[in-house]
Structure 1
Amino acid sequence: MKPKSTLPFFLALICFLLSSHQSYSQETKTPELYLDPIFKVDYGNATADKPQSKSWTNKHGQWLIVGDKDGPKLLKKDAVGWTSQSKVNQALKGLPPRADVLSKDDETHMVLVDECALTVVKLTYAPATKQYEHQWKVNLPIPKQCNSIETATITQDSKNQFWVSADMNENIMVWHSLNGQDWSNPFTLADDINADDISLIVGLKGQVSVIWSNQNTQSIMEKIHHDGDTFNQWSQPIIVQQGDNNADDHLNATEFENGEMILVTKNSVDNMNQPQFVLRERDIKGNWTNIPYENLTQQRSPSRPIINHVASGKIFEIHAVRNREDNLYFISVNEIIKENDNWQFRELIQLKTNILGKNGDVTSSKASFLPDEPKLIFFSDEMGNIYSFDLGTLL
Structure 2
Amino acid sequence: MMKLKGILLLFLPLFCLFLCGYDTFSQDTNTPELYLDPIFKVNYGDATADKPQSKSWTNDYGQWLVVGDEDGPKLLKKDGLGWASQSAVNRAWQTLPSRADVWNKGDEVHIVFVDECALNVVQMTYSKHRERYKQRRSRYLPMPTDCQTLETATITQDSKNQFWVCADMNEKIMVWHSFNGRVWSEPFALADDINNDDISLIVTLKGQVSVIWSNQNTQSINERIHMDGDDPDQWSEPIVVQEGDNNADDHLNATVFKNGQMAMATKNSVDIINQPQFVLRLRDKNGQWTNIPYENLRTERSPSRPIINHIEQGRIFEVHTVRNRVNNRYFISVNEIIRKGDGWEFKELIQLKTKINGKNGDVTSSKAGFLPDEPKLIFFSDDLGHIYSFDLDTLL
TM-score by length of 1: 0.93
Larger RCO of the pair (alpha carbons < 8 Å, separation 6+): 2
| Stretches (4+) displaced over 3 A | none
Amino acid at match of 1:81: G
* Matching residue of 1:259: 260
* Matching residue of 1:201: 202
Following superposition, the deviation at residue 339 of structure 1 comes to: 4.4
SS in 2 for 1:262: strand
* Matching residue of 1:34: 35
Amino acid at match of 1:205: K
* Matching residue of 1:228: 229
Which 5+ residue runs of structure 2 have no aligned equivalent? 1-27
Q: Provide Cα deviations, 1:321-358, integer angstroms capped at 9, x if missing partner.
A: 00111110000000001246521100000000000000
Following superposition, the deviation at residue 278 of structure 1 comes to: 0.1
* C-alpha RMSD of matched pairs (Å): 0.8
* Matching residue of 1:15: none
Amino acid at match of 2:250: D
Cα 1:106–1:246 change in 2 (3 A) is same
* Matching residue of 1:375: 376
* Matching residue of 2:316: 315
SS in 1 for 2:101: strand
SS in 2 for 1:87: helix
* Matching residue of 2:134: 133
Amino acid at match of 1:157: D
* Matching residue of 2:49: 48
> 2-side partners of 1:349 and 1:174: how far apart?
38
* Matching residue of 1:90: 91
1:288 maps onto 2:289 in alignment:
yes
SS in 1 for 2:254: strand
Give the total of aligned pairs.
369
* Matching residue of 1:99: 100
Q: Provide Cα deviations, 1:136-156, integer angstroms capped at 9, x if missing partner.
A: 100111100000100000000
Q: Provide Cα deviations, 1:42-87, integer angstroms capped at 9, x if missing partner.
A: 0000000000000000000000000000111000000110000000
> 1-side partners of 2:212 and 2:222: how far apart?
6
SS in 2 for 1:129: coil
SS in 2 for 1:181: coil
> 1-side partners of 2:79 and 2:91: how far apart?
20
> 2-side partners of 1:184 and 1:101: how far apart?
20
* Matching residue of 1:273: 274
> 1-side partners of 2:92 and 2:171: how far apart?
33
1:187 maps onto 2:161 in alignment:
no
SS in 1 for 2:114: strand
SS in 2 for 1:264: strand
Cα 1:339–1:225 change in 2 (3 A) is farther
SS in 2 for 1:88: helix
Q: For 1:111-260, list aligned pairs within 5 A.
A: 111-260=112-261
Q: Provide Cα deviations, 1:270-295, integer angstroms capped at 9, x if missing partner.
A: 00000000000000000000000000
1:361 maps onto 2:362 in alignment:
yes
> 1-side partners of 2:344 and 2:179: how far apart?
40
Following superposition, the deviation at residue 134 of structure 1 comes to: 1.0
Higher Rg: 1
SS in 1 for 2:213: strand
SS in 2 for 1:122: strand
Amino acid at match of 1:95: L
Q: Provide Cα deviations, 1:190-220, integer angstroms capped at 9, x if missing partner.
A: 0000000000000000000000000000000
SS in 2 for 1:142: coil
* Matching residue of 2:23: none
Amino acid at match of 2:237: Q
Cα 1:233–1:339 change in 2 (3 A) is farther
Structure 1 vs Structure 2: percent identity of aligned residues? 73
> 2-side partners of 1:232 and 1:193: how far apart?
20
Cα 1:119–1:83 change in 2 (3 A) is same
Amino acid at match of 1:100: D
Q: Provide Cα deviations, 1:7-41, integer angstroms capped at 9, x if missing partner.
A: xxxxxxxxxxxxxxxxxxxx922010000000000
> 2-side partners of 1:184 and 1:338: how far apart?
43
* Matching residue of 1:20: none
* Matching residue of 1:352: 353
Following superposition, the deviation at residue 312 of structure 1 comes to: 1.9
Cα 1:339–1:206 change in 2 (3 A) is farther
SS in 2 for 1:393: helix
